[in-house]
């Protein structure tokens, strides 16, 4: 480890040390320093020793100036999700609670109820409570209310979905790749006529999944019949309604990509009650999301799993770093590779256990959270 007082660090006085200086001296990333100082996640003991040694050598102190920009620290973080009844969202919140709770933060959870107007109202309520930071899963790509001056000194991280041209940190799954991979898996089974069920053209994740589906069909030179792309929402109710529509079609395909598990459950509910047995016997679905109940999903041949622990940890690290005044790499976009599962309906097991986080090219300064 280099001498903290040497010219190698380019520092005049050790008392002015920054988190970047600590990272450089310890030979680790800024994200790793943040993990050690905030006791967030698992860190190699030798790495932790190097970081703490660098902190002591540099007499590093956490940035209190950035924190003082707020009137006071409330030790609370506002969390807003589109709907609390969606298990994916509540699982994410549980991960954040496990990571941020031990650090003394209380999570203030609210639902935007899949409404932009309600999202605006709940955002105002959270800001009135002077939360230290915000984590939001936005309802849609309409986001002018997130450009409010009242957010200037409140760190904002968006999770699962993003709003184009909004300057904030984002943690995403590679939705396009996940949709592409499971659609290709259906095609390898010999399925040629495949429909797309659910989604909203104002929701980032939905649009990316549709692009992934279309990419796979195009790459296999398969025709996509426009009437078999049925958008209409991402809820269980939407799935039920869309399944009713597809059964009314004169030549309905028996293979579908489901935009998420809620749509899958809703569609299955309708089909089990109304579709002829012969039709149901040939059904094959690929779905996005793999939660604890996924093995119970009917007709599911493949499921795209989003690594919730990695998503939660990435978001928590960004929140902590921004609350500490660390603006390095802002705005950062972290993209996590999904996990593809072959489901019991197809006689298989988990086929791909890999998951990793990476950064988009337009955020080159953001160091990988996981390496």
- Residue 37 is predicted with a pLDDT of 82
In CATH, which superfamily holds the domain spanning 7-61?
lambda repressor-like DNA-binding domains (1.10.260.40)
Helix (H) or strand (E) holding 93: helix 87-100
List alpha helices for 189-297, DSSP H. 204-219, 236-247, 261-274, 277-281
**Which helix (H) or strand (E) covers residue 107, if one does?**
strand 106-111
**pLDDT at 12 exceeding the cut of 90:** no
Question: Distance between CA 83 and CA 119 in Å, rounded?
Answer: 11
8 A C-beta contact, residue 159 and residue 137: yes
What does the pLDDT average to over 39-60? 86
- Examine the pLDDT at 93 and tell me if it is beyond 90: yes
Q: Please compute the mean of the pLDDT values over residues 72-77 and round it to a whole number.
A: 86
Which residues partner with 109 through β-bridges? Answer: 79
Banded model confidence at residue 3, pLDDT cuts 50, 70, 90: low
pLDDT at 149 (0 to 100):
81
- Alpha-carbon gap, residue 196 to 206, rounded angstroms: 11
pLDDT at 63: 54
The rounded distance, in Å, linking the Cα atoms of 369 and 245 is 44
Please compute the mean of the pLDDT values over residues 21-37 and round it to a whole number: 87
pLDDT tier, 295 (very low <50, low <70, confident <90, very high otherwise): confident
Nearest in space to 32 (alpha carbons), one of 45, 47, 21? 47
Mean pLDDT, residues 252-262: 93
Q: Give residue 144's pLDDT.
A: 87
**Domain residue ranges of the chain, discontinuous segments joined by +:** 7-61
* 263-288 pLDDT per residue, tens: 999 999 999 999 999 899 999 999 99
User: pLDDT band at 122, cuts 50/70/90?
Assistant: very high
Tens digit of each residue's pLDDT (9 = 90 or more) over 180-192: 999 999 999 999 9
Look at residue 159 in the predicted model and tell me its pLDDT. Answer: 96
Predicted TM-score (pTM) of the model is: 0.74
Q: Are the CB atoms for 315 and 96 separated by under 8 Å?
A: yes
Assess whether pLDDT exceeds 50 at residue 370: no
CA end-to-end span of the chain, whole Å?
21
pLDDT (tens digit per residue) in 308-362:
889 999 999 999 999 988 888 899 999 999 988 888 555 443 344 344 443 332 2
Q: Which residues pair with 267 in a beta bridge?
A: none
Q: What is the pLDDT of residue 36?
A: 85
The residue among 7, 11, 8, 103 whose CA lies nearest residue 59 is: 11
Average pLDDT, the chain: 84
């Amino acid at each position: 480890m280099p001498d903290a007082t040497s010219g190698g660090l380019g520092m005049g006085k050790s008392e002015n040390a920054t988190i970047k200086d600590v990272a450089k001296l310890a030979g680790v990333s800024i994200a790793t320093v943040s993990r050690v100082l905030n006791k967030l996640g698992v860190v190699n003991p030798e790495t932790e020793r190097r970081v703490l040694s660098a902190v002591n050598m540099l007499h590093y102190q956490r940035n209190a100036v950035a924190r003082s920009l707020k009137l006071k620290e409330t030790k609370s973080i506002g969390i807003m999700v589109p709907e609390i009844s969606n298990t994916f969202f509540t699982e994410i919140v549980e991960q954040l609670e496990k990571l941020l709770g031990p650090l003394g933060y209380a999570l203030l959870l609210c639902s935007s109820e899949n409404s932009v107007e309600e999202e605006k109202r709940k955002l105002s309520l959270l800001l009135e409570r002077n939360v230290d930071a915000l984590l939001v899963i936005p309802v849609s790509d309409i986001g002018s209310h997130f450009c409010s001056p009242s957010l200037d000194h409140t760190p904002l991280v968006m999770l699962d979905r993003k709003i184009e041209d909004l300057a904030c940190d984002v943690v995403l799954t590679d939705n396009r790749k996940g949709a592409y991979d499971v659609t290709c898996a259906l095609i390898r089974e010999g399925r040629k006529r495949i429909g797309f069920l659910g989604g909203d053209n104002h929701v980032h994740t939905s649009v990316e999944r549709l692009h992934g589906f279309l990419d796979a069909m195009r790459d296999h030179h398969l025709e996509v019949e426009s009437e078999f792309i049925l958008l209409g929402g991402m809820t269980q109710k939407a799935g039920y309604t869309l399944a009713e529509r597809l059964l009314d079609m004169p030549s309905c395909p028996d293979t579908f990509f489901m935009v998420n598990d809620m749509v899958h459950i809703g569609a299955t509910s309708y089909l089990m009650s109304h579709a002829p047995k012969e039709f149901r016997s040939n059904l094959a679905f690929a779905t996005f999301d793999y939660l604890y109940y996924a093995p119970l999903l009917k007709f599911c041949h493949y499921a795209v799993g989003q690594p919730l622990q990695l998503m939660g940890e990435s978001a928590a690290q960004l929140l902590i770093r921004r609350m500490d005044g660390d603006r390095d790499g802002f705005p950062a976009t972290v993209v996590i590779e999904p996990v593809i599962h072959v489901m019991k309906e197809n006689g298989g097991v988990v086929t791909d256990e890999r998951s990793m986080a990476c950064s988009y090219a337009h955020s080159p300064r953001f160091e990988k959270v996981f390496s």
